[in-house]
A and B are shown apart, each in its own frame.
Chain A
Amino acid sequence: MSSTEHIVSHLHRDDIASRMGMWLFLFTELLLFGGMFILYSVYRYNNPDAFHLAAKELDTIIGTFNTAILLTSSLTMALSIAAIQRNNKSLSIFFQLMTVVLALGFMINKYFEWGVKFHYGIYPGSEKLLSKPTGEILFYGLYYVMTGLHGLHVLIGIGLILLMTYYTAKDIITYDNYMKLESAGLYWHLVDIIWIFLFPLFYLIT
């Protein structure tokens, strides 16, 4: 009976519906960050000078490096889908693992970047930060909350892609049924695009 059920569910598969559901979910993610971007714009409008000063202290080089890493990981993610479409399972798995490695690289950089700031005593609630003008406190508050929330999404993405790798290895994701992988890819591109907005807002606009 379970085999007949499988066939039925197979026949009822609707990739367009799955894709639509995923896009709707991505909307909710965009709006989640949208709330943060509203906060950013209001506080930036109120404290242009303090934001300008504070942004100068962020390390543009490490930020650029991380942007490059994340953009490359989006490429490897797209390549893994292209590979599975051509029925090349091992290549797809290779590119998925590449994506995970790059994502971990991003997080390691992030760790060092935050670590340096913590070392200098700049973190929410620290004495040194509290002695600065309020605009800078807000800037760093937003910086930690927004990049922190983004980092959380990177971690979730890593877990998701590893799950996809498992599915690919177990032939649950195949060349004619790769919707799961595509959804994970969409999620990963979302993580990427949010960073593409965070990077200029915190590092470049000085």
Chain B
Amino acid sequence: MNNNNTHISYLDYQGKHKGILGWLTSTDHKRIGILYLISLTIFLIVGIIFGLLMRLELLTPGKTIMDAQTYNSIFTLHGVIMIFLFVVPGLPAVFGNFFLPILIGAKDVAFPKWNLTSWYLYVIGGLLAILAILLPGGPSDTGWTFYIPYSVRTTTNVMFALFAAFILGFSSILTGLNFVTTVHRMRAPGMTWFKMPLSVWSFYATAWMQVLATPIVGITLLLVAIERFFKVGLFDPALGGDPVLYQHLFWIYSHPAVYIMILPAMGVVSEIIPVFARRTIFGYNFIAMSSIAIAFFGSLVWAHHMFTAGMSDTSQFIFSLLTMIVAVPSAIKVFNWVATLYKGSIDLQVPLLYVLAFIFQFTIGGLTGVMQGVLSIDIHVHDTSFVVAHFHYVMFGGTGFGFFAALHYWFPKMFGRMYNIKLAMRTFWGIFIGFNILYFPMFIMGWLGMPRRYYDYLPEYQIYHVISTLGSWILVPSVFLMFGYLVYFALKGKKVTEKNYWGGETLEWQIETPPIHENFEEIPIIKEKPYEYKSNDLVTQFSEAK
């Protein structure tokens, strides 16, 4: 019986418990990945609905569907849910959990029980954030940044949001230290550091940032809670405290956090491009090292969020310079991806479409980021919807599209079923066009002076708001359609039994579909770098025919 058990798919595996309990108590990294996928998707949908309501409110100046206080709560909830419950855990918790051990030839992560604990903490944190909506006092209206002094003074349920973020931070730390240890200790024999797939490099860099940056926000949010309870005055100018210090502490975490969000998506892009270009990745070492460089420099640029908050000229200069330096490793990645596509035999499948959209949108988001790193421009666009457009191009156009790309790329491996490619392609165009119509006008109106987080606006901005809201009416149904068909095809789609659906060279494509409980019947011995497409028959034939 034991023997059979190890050779059946992780989806059908029977441990101590059966059915739903078997999932909720499983320490199998693949099942935890799926648990995260389901819970993340639910929170994402909640976050999307809040976003849609905000766009609807901004359709006309003045009151459209809600009052100002509700609007403040809704943009706070949208931010808290999207940042702490979707984008930060996002790719590492779902695809990192599911594929990191497989990609390095391991049977599980280093600490499977802590891995499951991190999911429970995630759910508890998520429920706390949602609970705050229902309780008297109303949901927090501080924005996801909890800036002092308002976050100490408001009578809304800030405490819930604070504790939710604190617990979610703990969950994120557990995932991070699990991944660092797993990568150090559990690589298959022969898999040296520079034979690791590139997504492993980016998950590894992300994990370090999760471990090193998250505690700072933990203590900072705890201090806000202490301020609310005990009025210690650490950030209260009346008692000698300095509110700007709060902003520093907050961004010491929260800026690295944006690289926690984008790096794994970059890893997924590096994974998908060689498969669909049928070429060895161009500049493996540079892509790998640029992940580390982004993690390193990204930890040193936090004060560029505070150029207008009061800082010495020297600090402003240094933070501005460092901000521009981060663009270098990011650009190295983009150039290497494009160079890999160049002269490749490109197979334009759905995952690659999302990846191409990623490169396009990330470049726009990245370059406008450099613009804001320039002091003079930042003063002009600070706290306008230009900034909102910038980070949605990076976070949604980048990480979100990376998430969708990963979903479509690994879908047949995860579920052993396939989606309808034609439907997926059409949905992609809906998402891509809707996204750009929604967010691009924000660049223009932000440049013209439309402030962010404002409930009301002057009539001259209305045309941009209308276009943007129209975009949301294309984007949101398309995203819902995508999740709808993915759920449908995960349950009812055409069965896939072949190991290597896309013809990839990394380890996850060499094992059973869907993977067996322990991933590998025998731990593989790694002899060559990933992405060696030289021996690929199809490619050889193609070049001979030419």
Q: Interface residues, chain A, CB within 8 Å of chain B? A: 1, 4, 14, 16-18, 20-21, 24-25, 27-29, 31-36, 38-39, 42-43, 46-47, 124-125, 130, 133-135, 137-138, 141-142, 144-145
A125 with B219, Cβ < 8 A, contacts A17-B185, A27-B211, A138-B240 known: no
CB-defined contacts of A125 to chain B, threshold 8 Å: 230-232
Q: Interface residues, chain B, CB within 8 Å of chain A? A: 1-2, 110-111, 114, 173, 176-178, 180-181, 184-186, 211-216, 218-220, 223, 226, 230-234, 239-242, 245, 249, 252
Most chain A beta-carbon neighbours within 10 Å: one of B114, B184, B211, B233: B233
Most chain A beta-carbon neighbours within 10 Å: one of B176, B186, B230, B252: B230
List 5 interface pairs A-B (beta carbons < 8 Å), by A numbering: A21-B181, A29-B215, A42-B245, A135-B240, A144-B230
Distance (Å) between the CB of A55 and the closest chain B CB? 16
CB-defined contacts of A35 to chain B, threshold 8 Å: 215-216, 219-220, 223, 249, 252
Distance (Å) between the CB of A133 and the closest chain B CB? 8
Q: Whole-angstrom distance between the alpha carbons of A31 and B213 in the complex?
A: 8
Q: Is the CB of B180 within 8 A of A24?
A: yes
CB-defined contacts of B230 to chain A, threshold 8 Å: 124-125, 144
CB-defined contacts of A32 to chain B, threshold 8 Å: 215-216, 218-219
CB-defined contacts of B185 to chain A, threshold 8 Å: 14, 16-17, 20
CB-defined contacts of B219 to chain A, threshold 8 Å: 32-33, 35-36
Contact partner of B177 (CB less than 8 A), chosen from A1, A24, A46, is A24
A20 with B181, Cβ < 8 A, contacts A137-B233, A138-B239, A141-B232 known: yes
B interface secondary structure, majority: helix
Q: Is the CB of B249 within 8 A of A138?
A: no
Chain B residue with Cβ nearest A5: B2
Q: Is the CB of A137 within 8 A of B239?
A: yes
Interface pairs A-B: 6 shortest CB-CB: A134-B240, A141-B232, A35-B219, A31-B215, A24-B177, A32-B215
A28 with B173, Cβ < 8 A, contacts A14-B110, A21-B110, A141-B232 known: yes
Chain B residue with Cβ nearest A42: B245
Q: Is the CB of B178 within 8 A of A21?
A: yes
A28 with B211, Cβ < 8 A, contacts A17-B110, A42-B242 known: yes
Q: Is the CB of B214 within 8 A of A28?
A: yes
Chain A residue with Cβ nearest B218: A32
